């Protein structure tokens, strides 16, 4: 999924929020990733019938965080870029939104990765095989450091995102 720079952070007039039963939400409310996956599964269910620009900034940020988390935990920032998510993460207001949500340490790591991305974008965006990707890791030790920093802060920052979601659930879903 590729989203243009303006998508996160842009005010939209029509929003698509999934309906979640209060009882269902309560079952997932305390576990960070259970809550994330409940919301994300609802978004992906309606994504086939709704244009992506009808999702709220908060929904896009949660979807971007899910992509970031999945890519970093399986192959780091280089894999995230190789798999075509550089623009979604770095060419949007994603890190600024995370700061507003209280996930400041995570946002700082993303901003550092963003700087490397833009300084080397032409080379980083070249289509590569998985083997070619492995050869790139020694060329970008800064990403290796940021990957480790991501692992260091990911649980506490995910919990901060969960708290933001809990306090602003109306930006993520309609609870009935």
14 domain-assigned? no
CA distances from 14 to 5, 51, 53, 142, 173 (A): 19, 10, 9, 40, 14
Domain assignment present for residue 13? The answer is: no
Measured in residues, the chain has a length of: 176
Report if residue 4 sits inside a domain: no
Q: What is the CB neighbour count within 10 angstroms for residue 71?
A: 19
Question: What pLDDT does 16 receive?
Answer: 87
Q: Give the pLDDT of residue 13.
A: 41
pLDDT tens by residue, 29-79: 889 999 999 999 999 999 888 777 788 899 999 999 999 999 999 999 999
What CATH number is given to the structural domain containing 51? 1.20.1420.60
Asked whether residue 10 is domain-assigned, the answer is no
Count of CA atoms in the C-beta half-sphere (13 A) of 24: 14
Domain membership of residue 26 as a residue range:
19-175
Mean pLDDT, residues 125-136: 90
| Residue whose entry in the numeric block shows the structure tokens 């550089």 | 86
Locate 15 and state its tokens. 């929003």
Q: Among 39-53, 87-101, 131-145, 153-167, where is mean pLDDT lowest?
A: 39-53
SS3 174: strand
Looking at residue 4, the DSSP 8-state letter turns out to be: -
Q: Is residue 118 part of a domain?
A: yes
Angle of helix 104-119 relative to helix 141-167, nearest 10 degrees, comes to: 140
On whether residue 84 sits in a domain, the answer given is yes
Residue 8 in domain: no
The residues near 162 (Cβ < 8 Å, ≥ 6 apart) are: 32, 35, 36
Alpha carbon separation from 68 to 10, 71, 153, 156 (Å, rounded): 20, 5, 13, 15
Percent of the chain residues past pLDDT 70, beyond the cut = 92
Using DSSP, state whether 29 is helix, strand or coil.
Answer: coil
Read off the pTM: 0.87
Domain total of the chain: 1
Q: Six-digit token pair at 33?
A: 């990733």
E-state strands within 13-167:
19-20
pLDDT at position 3 is 47
């Amino acid at each position: 999924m590729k989203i243009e720079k303006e998508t996160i952070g842009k005010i939209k007039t029509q929003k698509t929020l999934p309906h979640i039963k209060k009882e269902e939400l309560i079952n997932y409310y305390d576990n960070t990733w259970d809550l994330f996956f409940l919301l994300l599964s609802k978004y992906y269910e309606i994504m086939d019938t709704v244009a992506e620009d009808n999702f709220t900034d908060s929904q896009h940020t949660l979807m971007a965080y899910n992509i970031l988390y999945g890519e970093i935990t399986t192959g780091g920032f280089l894999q995230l870029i190789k798999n075509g998510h550089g623009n979604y993460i770095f060419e949007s207001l994603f890190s600024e939104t995370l700061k507003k949500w209280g996930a400041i340490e995570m946002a700082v790591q993303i901003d550092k990765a963003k700087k490397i991305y833009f300084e080397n974008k032409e080379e980083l965006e070249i289509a590569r095989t998985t083997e070619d990707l492995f050869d790139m890791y020694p060329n970008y030790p800064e990403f290796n450091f940021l990957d480790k920093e991501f692992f260091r802060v990911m649980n506490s920052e995910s919990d901060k995102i969960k708290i933001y979601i809990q306090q602003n659930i109306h930006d993520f879903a309609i609870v009935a």
